[in-house]
Amino acid sequence: MNIFLLPWVELAILIPLVGAICIAGLRTQEAAYRWCVGFTVAALGAALLASFGYYAGLTPVNGGTGSVFDFFGRRVLAVDELNAPLVPLAALLHVLTALSTARTKVVRFSFAWTLAGESLTLAGFACIDPWSLVILFSLALVSPFLEMRRRGSPTRVYALHMGLFAALLVAGLAFSGGAFPGGQAIATSFTAPPRPVPGL
């Protein structure tokens, strides 16, 4: 059996999500720190294998390491020429974040939320479905909001800014996808090349 034919993209997303659930039940932050590093390194390994599989041309779905688990008949996750180097780099960033967390900050650092955020980040980089990407981006806004609430920081500006961000994502995708009458024509008018003006 070829190791690259395994669904490494899904595993890279699933490993930190399982890690977040496991770490949430731990009592000591020191144990959470060690397990967080282990889960992030495992996710990095899966992301690297997904990327290597794409570059080697050994993938389960033609055109990329595609999703083995189709959602409602739609292919949602894949590794292509754009995100093949980005998925491992995003995973590496989370490994370095976990490793560089100072011992003095371990007490107030949320390792479970860090792993949940890594899962959403990797899913966002590997997502090829526009509406699923909007949902993932919107879910990624929840973790910083809850972290700010936990620390007692003001959240009104963040909520307004990110609420507007999510609303504009939905509106832009709806117009460009033709969900509204005339939306496709409006989106095309912004992206069409300029027409030459007669006489100039």
Q: Sketch the domain layout of the chain as residue ranges.
A: 3-129, 141-191
Q: How far apart are CA 19 and CA 9, in angstroms?
A: 16
Structure tokens given for 41: 């390194």
For 117-166, what is each residue's pLDDT tens digit?
Answer: 999 999 988 888 888 888 888 888 888 888 888 888 888 999 999 999 98
The average pLDDT across 70-78 equals: 69
No. of helices (H) and no. of strands (E), the chain: 8, 0
- 30-72 pLDDT per residue, tens: 888 889 999 999 999 999 999 988 888 766 554 444 445 555 5
Residues 83 and 99: beta-carbon distance below 8 Å: no
Residue 187: pLDDT over 80: no
Query: How many angstroms separate the CA atoms of 125 and 113, rounded?
Result: 18
